[in-house]
């Protein structure tokens, strides 16, 4: 459907802020006095729905105007093209539902995004911002695949084409790690203060992971640079939890109606937000606690909680739902068998693997999470969640599998989730509708899938053929590591896969109950 844009005079921009409806929050600080103190790599909806929103609250609460944001898109220009005519302004719409299921929306115009850069167009501008005297924090949301690492080991993939390029071409990096190290190299050469480098992605011990990859790359560039980074820069780990669906043209039209002005790229999110970050910063930080952030000494327990409970169940739900034809998360959890499966998966298999979390009522956390999934106002697409499975599986599901197997515990629910991903890789759902496998390892996965089909044909029909098929796929070490050699894992996944093939998703879920 073609998007109808209101007249240019009514496009969201500073001149129309005063005429917005009274219920719409807007910047109350002097944007002209705001300076860039944060450079954010990965200017997508996720960061604009949490980092920039929490930063906005901090600006209002403290009046400290050193913390404006420069957003960097590492691949495409679409976000920049949408926001530059709006002077960086955009709307964050937090959506929930009332007791009758009606839409409840709270809208705010975010003003802390001062600049938008597109790295492939002008890598020098990005490096200059990282090396800028006012810059104090570099934050990152580039998704799991943006780190150019081996998902199973967490190490930098030196053979990745972008990493090879960035080691050879210091003035025009392509990768997240390349930009970070080359920018830090300039700061070091200029004698500027060290920085905080803060990952906000869904990776275990994301600060330590980022530090390891930065130091690995830097050591190959200049050992003295690596020593300076290790001794002076900070890499706090963090955990962010907010569901942020993809913005649609229908969302744009609805917000234009509510605002009386057209926003080319608003962001949607749920009202719930949890941001836990280690309080280790090399050059100061905003008072993000004003926007709900929680500063802690150690984020690892909260990271594990989120990766296993939220991200793990999200992925399990997504692959099974795509195969069954349930297109949104709220539609999926409305299926009694799937809801019962998620409840059992969390309560029986995931919760026992979690570290101590004093003061947290895990039963209440689980109930709230399922209510969040049932939010009908978000229309979060299961196909969106299903992207990049090769990068997500290790930390979202396979680490939990390892913990269960190490304790000698069964993994029926986790095996069904893993089998759901392997089943999803065939590229068509149970109704025969085809879809693309959007994954940085798509070619490798397709090749391995074909090998698995051949392996199954050699063995024959039945569970043994399915087991050979599963063994071929789970032998992919960059994703599964050593799990593919564990007969307990392969056998459990093969049993779940056989159930999916013979009974379908709905039948397998019912049988699992």
Q: What is the mean pLDDT of each run of 10 residues along the chain (513 residues)?
A: 49 96 96 97 97 98 97 96 97 91 92 98 98 98 94 92 96 97 97 97 95 98 98 98 96 94 97 97 97 96 97 98 98 97 98 94 96 94 97 96 98 98 98 96 97 94 94 97 97 98 97 87
| One domain, residues 38 and 79 | yes
| One domain, residues 379 and 283 | no
- C-alpha–C-alpha distance, residues 361 and 170, integer Å: 49
Secondary structure (3-state) at 107: strand
* Residue 482 within any structural domain of the chain: yes
pLDDT of residue 7: 44
| One domain, residues 428 and 331 | yes
- C-alpha–C-alpha distance, residues 423 and 386, integer Å: 12
pLDDT of residue 99: 79
- C-alpha–C-alpha distance, residues 491 and 453, integer Å: 17
- C-alpha–C-alpha distance, residues 371 and 363, integer Å: 13
Q: Would you state the structure tokens that stand for residue 247, as one six-digit string? A: 């913005």
| One domain, residues 72 and 142 | yes
- C-alpha–C-alpha distance, residues 512 and 5, integer Å: 49
* Residue 414 within any structural domain of the chain: yes
Which backbone phi and psi does 253 adopt, to 5 degrees?
-65, -45
* Residue 326 within any structural domain of the chain: yes
CA angle 294, 103, 339 (to 5 degrees): 70
| One domain, residues 274 and 337 | no
Domain boundary among 271, 297, 323: 297
| One domain, residues 248 and 371 | no
Q: Would you state the structure tokens that stand for residue 398, as one six-digit string? A: 């396979």
pLDDT of residue 97: 87
pLDDT of residue 1: 35
| One domain, residues 167 and 258 | yes
Q: Would you state the structure tokens that stand for residue 404, as one six-digit string? A: 């269960």
- Give bridge partners of residue 106 from the DSSP assignment: 94
User: How does DSSP classify residue 440?
Assistant: T
What would you measure as the largest C-alpha separation in the chain, in angstroms?
71
Residue 492: alpha-carbon gap to chain centroid:
28
pTM of the model: 0.91
Structural domain of 329 = 301-512
* Residue 3 within any structural domain of the chain: no
| One domain, residues 345 and 236 | no
| One domain, residues 138 and 201 | yes
- C-alpha–C-alpha distance, residues 180 and 147, integer Å: 11
- C-alpha–C-alpha distance, residues 74 and 504, integer Å: 40
* Residue 2 within any structural domain of the chain: no
Neighbours of 159 (CB within 10 A): 9
| One domain, residues 265 and 356 | no
* Residue 1 within any structural domain of the chain: no
Domain boundary among 297, 326, 342: 297
* Residue 457 within any structural domain of the chain: yes
- Tell me the pairing of strands 113-118 and 103-110: unpaired
Domain boundary among 239, 271, 297: 297
* Residue 331 within any structural domain of the chain: yes
Number of separate domains in the chain:
2
Distance (Å) of CA 148 to CA 163, 175, 473:
7, 8, 22
Place of tokens 């569970």: 463
267-269 sheet: strands from edge to edge:
103-110, 90-97, 267-269
Instruction: Report the sign of the C-alpha dihedral through residues 63, 66, 67, 69, in that order.
Output: positive
| One domain, residues 139 and 51 | yes
pLDDT of residue 10: 87
Instruction: Report the sign of the C-alpha dihedral through residues 405, 409, 410, 414, in that order.
Output: negative
| One domain, residues 373 and 224 | no
With CA atoms as reference, report the closest residue to 39 among 120, 137, 171.
137
- C-alpha–C-alpha distance, residues 263 and 254, integer Å: 10
- C-alpha–C-alpha distance, residues 86 and 89, integer Å: 5
- C-alpha–C-alpha distance, residues 465 and 467, integer Å: 5
Residue 262 and residue 11 in contact, taking contact as beta carbons nearer than 8 Å? yes
Residue 54 and residue 92 in contact, taking contact as beta carbons nearer than 8 Å? no
| Residue 115: partners with Cβ closer than 8 Å, 6 or more residues away | 36, 68, 69, 70, 71, 88, 129
pLDDT of residue 173: 97
**Residue 472, domain CATH:** 1.10.1040.10
**Residue 100, domain CATH:** 3.40.50.720
Exposed, middle or buried, 386 (CB in 10 Å: 0-12/13-18/19+)?
buried
Q: Would you state the structure tokens that stand for residue 95, as one six-digit string? A: 């959506």
pLDDT of residue 2: 41
Q: Would you state the structure tokens that stand for residue 364, as one six-digit string? A: 């209440």
Neighbours of 425 (CB within 10 A): 18
Neighbours of 371 (CB within 10 A): 12
């Amino acid at each position: 459907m073609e998007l109808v844009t209101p007249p240019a005079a009514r496009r969201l921009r500073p001149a129309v802020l005063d005429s917005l409806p009274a219920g719409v929050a807007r910047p109350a600080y002097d944007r002209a006095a705001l300076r860039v103190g944060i450079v954010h790599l990965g200017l997508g909806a996720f960061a604009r729905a949490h980092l920039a929103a929490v930063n906005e609250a901090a600006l209002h609460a403290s009046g400290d105007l050193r913390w404006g944001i420069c957003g960097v898109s590492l691949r495409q220009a679409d976000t920049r093209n949408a926001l530059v005519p709006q002077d960086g302004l955009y709307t964050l719409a937090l959506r929930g539902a009332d007791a009758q299921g009606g839409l409840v929306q709270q809208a705010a115009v975010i003003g802390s995004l001062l600049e938008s850069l597109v790295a492939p167009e002008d890598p020098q501008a990005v490096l200059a911002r990282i090396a800028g005297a006012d810059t104090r924090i570099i934050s990152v949301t580039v998704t799991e695949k943006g780190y150019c690492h081996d998902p199973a080991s967490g190490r930098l993939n030196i053979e990745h084409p972008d990493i090879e390029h960035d080691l050879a071409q210091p003035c025009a990096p392509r990768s997240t790690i390349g930009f970070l190290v080359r920018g830090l190299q300039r700061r070091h050469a200029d004698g500027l203060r060290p920085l905080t480098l803060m990952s906000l992605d869904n990776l275990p011990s994301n600060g330590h992971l980022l530090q390891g990859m930065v130091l690995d790359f830097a050591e190959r560039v200049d050992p003295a640079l690596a020593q300076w980074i290790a001794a002076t820069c900070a890499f706090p780990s963090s955990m962010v939890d907010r569901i942020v669906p993809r913005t649609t043209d229908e969302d744009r039209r609805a917000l234009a109606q509510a605002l009386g002005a057209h926003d080319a790229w608003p962001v949607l999110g749920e009202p719930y937000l949890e941001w836990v970050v280690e309080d280790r910063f090399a050059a100061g930080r905003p008072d993000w606690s004003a926007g709900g952030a929680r500063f802690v000494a150690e984020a690892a327990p909260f990271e594990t909680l989120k990766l296993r409970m939220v991200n793990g169940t999200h992925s399990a739900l997504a692959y099974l739902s795509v195969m069954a034809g349930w297109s949104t998360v709220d539609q999926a959890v409305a299926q009694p068998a799937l809801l019962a499966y998620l409840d059992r998966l969390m309560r029986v298999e995931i919760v026992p693997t979690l570290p101590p979390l004093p003061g947290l009522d895990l039963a209440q956390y689980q109930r709230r999470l399922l209510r969040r999934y049932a939010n009908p106002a978000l229309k979060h697409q299961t196909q969106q969640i299903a992207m990049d499975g090769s990068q997500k599986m290790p930390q979202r599901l396979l680490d939990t599998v390892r913990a269960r197997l190490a304790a000698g515990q069964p993994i029926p629910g986790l095996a069904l989730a893993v089998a759901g991903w392997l089943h999803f890789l065939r590229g068509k759902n149970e109704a025969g509708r085809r879809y693309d496998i959007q994954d940085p390892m798509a070619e490798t996965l397709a090749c391995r899938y074909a090998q698995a089909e051949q392996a199954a044909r050699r063995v024959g029909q039945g569970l043994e053929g399915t087991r050979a098929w599963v063994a071929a796929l789970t032998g992919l070490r960059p994703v599964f590591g050593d799990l593919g050699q564990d007969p307990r894992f392969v056998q459990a996944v093969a049993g779940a896969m056989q159930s999916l093939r013979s009974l379908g998703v709905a039948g397998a879920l019912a049988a699992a109950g």
